[in-house]
Amino acid sequence: MIPTEWLFGLAGGLMIGLAASLYLLVNGRIMGASGILGGLVDGTGRGTTAERVAFLAGCLIVPALIAWAIGGARTNITGNFAVIMAAGLLVGIGTRLANGCTSGHGVCGISRLSPRGIIATVCYLLAGGIVMATARHLWGLI
C-alpha cells in the first residue's frame, strides 16, 4: 500500500508541472519562483512587473484560501530565528547566483535535459543533504 503522502506528493507535483507548462506555453516564460521574485527585487524584471506580480499573487492567495477552507495548514518551521534568517539569506543569495531554484532548475531545467539545470539540482541536493546531516546529526541544530 502506497502511503497517501506519496500520492499527495505526486498529485501536487503534477499540478506544479501543469502550472509550469501553462506559464511556458501561454506566457512564454520559464516558471522559476526565485527568478520571478528576484527580478522584482533587483530591478532586472522591469517591463514584466505585472506578469510577475500576478504570478506571485496567485501563488500566495490560492494556498491561503485552500488553507482557510481546510481549517489551516502548517509549515512546522523551526522557532530558531537565527537559523531562519541565515537560511533565508542563503536561499536568496544562492538562487540568484545560480539563476534558479527548485522550480526553475529542478522542474523546468531537468525536464528539458538542460545541463545547467541538472548540475544545479545535483549541487543543491548534495549540499542540502550534507548540511542536513551536519546540522541535525552532528550539531543538533535543526
Partner 1 sequence: MRALFAALSGGIFGAGLLLSGMTDTTKVQGWLDVFGNWDPTLAFVLGGAIVPMAITWRLAARRQTSWLGTPLPAQPNPKLDRSLIAGSVLFGAGWALAGLCPGPAIASLSFGGWGGVVFLLAMLAGMLVAPALRRPLDRPARAGAKMDIRAITPTYAVSPQIALEDLPAIKAAGYTTLINNRPDGEIPPHLHHAQMQAAAQALGLIYVQNPVIGGAMTDANIAAQGAAIAASTGPVFAYCASGNRSSVVWALSNAGKMPTDDLIGLPARFGYQLEGLRGQIDAMVKS
Q: Which of residues 48-77 bind partner 1 (CB under 8 A)?
A: 48, 50-64, 66-68, 72-77
- By CB under 8 A, the residues from 75 to 104 that bind partner 1 are 75-79, 81, 83-99, 101-103
CA angle in degrees (0–180, nearest 5) for 72-73-75: 145
Binding of partner 1 by 1 (CB under 8 A): no
Rounded-to-integer distance, Cα 72 and Cα 139, Å: 32
Based on its alpha-carbon atoms, the radius of gyration of the chain, rounded to whole angstroms, reads 17
Using CB under 8 A, which of 1, 37, 139, 140 touches partner 1? Answer: 37
Contact 59, 33 (CB under 8 A): yes
In whole angstroms, how close is the CB of 71 to partner 1 at the nearest point?
Answer: 11
Binding of partner 1 by 28 (CB under 8 A): yes
Binding of partner 1 by 139 (CB under 8 A): no
Number of residues that bind partner 1 (CB under 8 A): 114
Binding of partner 1 by 140 (CB under 8 A): no
- Residue in the block written with cell 539545470: 117
CA angle in degrees (0–180, nearest 5) for 23-27-28: 90
